Chain A
Amino acid sequence: MQLAGWGRFPRVDAELIEPPTAQAVITVLKESDEEGTLIARGAGRSYGDSSLNTQVLSSRFLDSFSSFDEGSARLRCSAGVTIDELLKVSIPKGLFPAVVPGTKQVSIGGAIAADIHGKNHHRDGSFCDHVESLTLALASGEIKVCSTKKNKELFHATCGGMGLTGVILDATVNLEKVPSVFIRSQAIATKNLNHTIEQLEALNDNKFVVAWVDCLATGDELGRGIVHAGNFTEDAPMEYVRRWGPSVPFNTPSLMLNRYSMSWFNNFYYWLYNRPAGEDLDSYDSFFFPLDSIKHWNRLYGRKGFLQYQFLLPEDTAQKGTQAVLERVADAGKGSFLAVLKKFGAGNSNLLSFPGPGLTLTLDFKNEASLFPLLDELDKIVIENGGRHYLAKDARLSAETFKAGYPQWAKFKAVKDKVDPQQRFSSLQSQRIGLTTAKDERL
C-alpha cells in the first residue's frame, strides 16, 4: 500500500505489517526474511521518510496500558499508545506528560525514537528525560529492557535513535503533577528578530515559551513575531477536552497556499496579538495542539505535499544564522504559515537527540521543484553556523549535512552495529543520510 509521513512527501509503496501483540512483533522479527530491511512506525506524524521503507512494522495494535501508579506518577504502556489516549487516563488523576509536541496524535514509541521536545524544553528537557525504562525488541527477536541504569548504551542510542536499534515494545514514563490543565499565557508582539530573541530570553522563567515568526516580514521588520509565554494555572478545571473541528476531506489545490494567502495570514496573526499586553486562558488542547482541531490539515498543501524544515543553532551563532536563514527565505519569496522559534535548554546524553542549547526555527514549505535548491542553501547556512537538523521533520538531508550536525553519529552507528549487525532496521531516511546502506547495496 501507499505510505507517507505527515508531509505526504515522499510516498512509497510499502508492505505494512500490523502485529496484534508484542509477541507477534517478535515472531515477525524472527521469521521475516533476513535479507529484507524494515522500520517501525507509530502514528506516522514524522514529516518525511523516518518511518518509511519497503517493509513497515506498525505499532498500531500495541495500544494497551499496563499499570498506572498515581503515587509515583508513573505509567507503563505499549509503544503504540498515543499522547491523546494517555491524556484520557492521566488528566482525571491530575497528571500530565512532562513533554508534549504540537500534536497529541503521536505514539509513545515515536516520541521516544525522536526524543521529542515541547514548549518547555528550556525547563524540562525532552521526552526521553522522563522515560524511566523501555523494552526493546532487537533484530534477533531478543528482548532488552533499557534505562539510564540498565543497558545504558542501548538506551541512549534508542532514545532519539529513529527506530534504528529495534522496535520499542513498551515504556514506563514519569508524568507530572499539574494544578489544572489550563494555561494562562501572555502574548507579546515583537518588532524584529533581535527583539524576538530578547523577549524569548526575558520570558524564560515561564514554563512554556515559544515565538511565532512572521517570515514574510523583511527589512527592519525581519524576524518580527509574537512571543507566547504561559504556565499551568491553579484556578481552572482538570478535564479531558473533547473538541470537534472541521476536517479537510480531500487535497485542496495547492494554489490555496500561495504568497498572497500566506502574506494575508501572517499579517492577520500579527495584528491579532499586536495589542496591549493581556492574559489568555487556554485549555491544554488549544494551547499545545491548536492544529489538531483541523483533521487532515496536511491536505491543505495539495497532492504533492509539503516539507518541514527545522534546525538548531548554538547560542553564539543563533542570532546571526537565524537572520541569514530568514533573509534567504524572504528573498526567495517562499514564506511559511508556521514559522516557530524556540529557545532550547541543555541537551542530554542521547546520541542522536536533536535538542541542545540554542535557538530552533521551524518552517514549512509547499513541495515544489524550486524549493530544493533553496533548502540546500539553508543547509549550508545552518552547518556553517555549527547547527543541525531535526530528523523527525526531514525528507531530503544529505549524508554530509547530517553527519556534520551530529558528530556522535559514528558512536551511534557502533552501537547499532552491535545489536543489528545485518542492518535489518533501516528507513529511507537512514539510507539517505548514511546510517544504513540501501538494500540493493547490501546484497
Chain B
Amino acid sequence: MNVLIIGATSAIAKAAARQYAARGECLFLIARDDKRLQEMSEDLVVRGADSVNSASLDLLQHDQHSQAIDEAASVLGTIDIALVCHGSLPDQEQAENDFAAAEKALDINGLSVISLVTALAATMKLQGNGKIAVVTSVAGDRGRQPNFVYGAAKAMVSTYLQGLRGKLLPHGVQVIDIRPGLVDSPMTAHLEKGALFSSPETVAAKIVKSIDGNRHTVYAPGYWRLIMLVVKSIPEAIFKRLKF
C-alpha cells in the first residue's frame, strides 16, 4: 500500500510511519525539517519500508499544498492512505490577547489542514479510492478555558470532515477523524504527565487499526469517547465556571 504522511516528523506520525514500515508499505513523507526527514527515511528503510520518499514544506504555505500532493501522487502512483498529523499547541494566554498568535494557531491547526484535505480530496476523487485520515483532538469537542483557541481550530476541522465524509462517499473515498486525548509527545513536554497520558505508539496503533477498519470518528485511546461524553454533558451554566 502507498501511504502519504503529512507532518511526518510529529511523534504520533513517526510512530505510525514505523508501523507502516514494518508492514513493508511504500511511504511518502512531508514535513518542514529536511534533515529530520532524511533521518526518518533512513530509519524507516531499516524498519522494512518498501520505499521512502519525502518533500520538505512549511505547511503554512497553502499555495504549495496541491503541488506537494501532486508530487506525492506521482512518486507513489496512487495515494491509498493519507495521514495528516501536523499541529501545534499555542500558548493560550498569548493567543487570547494577541490576535496574530491566535491567527497562526488557527492556521496551522485548522486552515492549513483544510487546505491539504481539499487537495487530497481532489486527487482521491480522480483515483476513485483512498482514505484521508486527519489527527484532530478531543480539545475540539468542547471549548475549554485552558486551550480554546487550539480547540476551536480542531473543531473546525472535525466539522469540515463530517461534511466532507458524505460528499466523498460516492467516490469511494473514506474520511477518518482521529481525536487523541493526552499524548506524551514533544507537544506536551511542558506538562506534568499523569495517568491519562498515552504513548505516541499506542495512539499510532489505534490510528493504523482505524484506517484499516474504515472507521469514521475515532477516539484514541477509546476511553476518551466516554470522558468527552461526560465533558460535553455538563450544563453550560456550570461549565462556564470550570477552569480545567
Binding site for B on A (CB under 8 A): 1, 18, 20-21, 23, 61, 64-68, 75, 77, 88-89, 92
Q: Which residues of B68-89 are within 8 A (CB) of A? A: none
Q: Which residues of B134-168 are within 8 A (CB) of A? A: none
Beyond contacts A61-B11, A67-B42: 11 other A-B pairs, Cβ-Cβ < 8 A, are A18-B186, A21-B39, A23-B35, A64-B40, A64-B43, A65-B46, A65-B47, A66-B39, A75-B46, A77-B46, A89-B48
Q: Which residues of B6-30 are within 8 A (CB) of A? A: 11, 22
Q: Is A1 in contact with B46, judged by CB distance below 8 angstroms? A: no
Q: Is A20 in contact with B22, judged by CB distance below 8 angstroms? A: no
Partner of A18, one of B36, B40, B189: B189
The residues of B that contact A75 with a CB separation of less than 8 Å are 46
Q: Determine the distance from Cα of A304 to Cα of B192 in the docked complex, in whole angstroms.
A: 23
Sort A-B residue pairs by CB-CB distance and give the 10 closest, nearest first.
Answer: A65-B46, A64-B43, A68-B46, A65-B43, A66-B42, A20-B186, A64-B39, A89-B46, A89-B47, A18-B189
B43: nearest chain-A partner, CB-CB: A64
Pick 29 A–B contacts, CB within 8 A, sort by A. Answer: A1-B192, A1-B193, A18-B186, A18-B189, A20-B11, A20-B186, A21-B36, A21-B39, A61-B11, A61-B186, A64-B40, A64-B42, A64-B43, A65-B42, A65-B43, A65-B47, A66-B39, A66-B42, A66-B43, A67-B42, A67-B46, A68-B46, A77-B46, A88-B22, A88-B47, A89-B46, A89-B47, A89-B48, A92-B48
The residues of B that contact A77 with a CB separation of less than 8 Å are 46
Interface residues on B, range: 10 to 19
The residues of A that contact B189 with a CB separation of less than 8 Å are 18
The residues of A that contact B40 with a CB separation of less than 8 Å are 64
The residues of A that contact B46 with a CB separation of less than 8 Å are 65-68, 75, 77, 89
The residues of B that contact A88 with a CB separation of less than 8 Å are 22, 47
A64: nearest chain-B partner, CB-CB: B43
The residues of B that contact A66 with a CB separation of less than 8 Å are 39, 42-43, 46
Q: How far is the CB of B236 from chain A (nearest CB, A)?
A: 35
Q: Determine the distance from Cα of A61 to Cα of B11 in the docked complex, in whole angstroms.
A: 9
Chain A proximity mask over B35-66: 1 for CB below 8 Å, otherwise 0: 11001101100111000000000000000000
Q: Determine the distance from Cα of A66 to Cα of B22 in the docked complex, in whole angstroms.
A: 15
Q: Determine the distance from Cα of A68 to Cα of B36 in the docked complex, in whole angstroms.
A: 18
The residues of A that contact B11 with a CB separation of less than 8 Å are 20, 61
- Interface centre among B22, B42, B192, B193, by most A CB within 10 Å? B42
Q: How far is the CB of B183 from chain A (nearest CB, A)?
A: 13
The residues of B that contact A1 with a CB separation of less than 8 Å are 192-193
Q: How far is the CB of B13 from chain A (nearest CB, A)?
A: 13
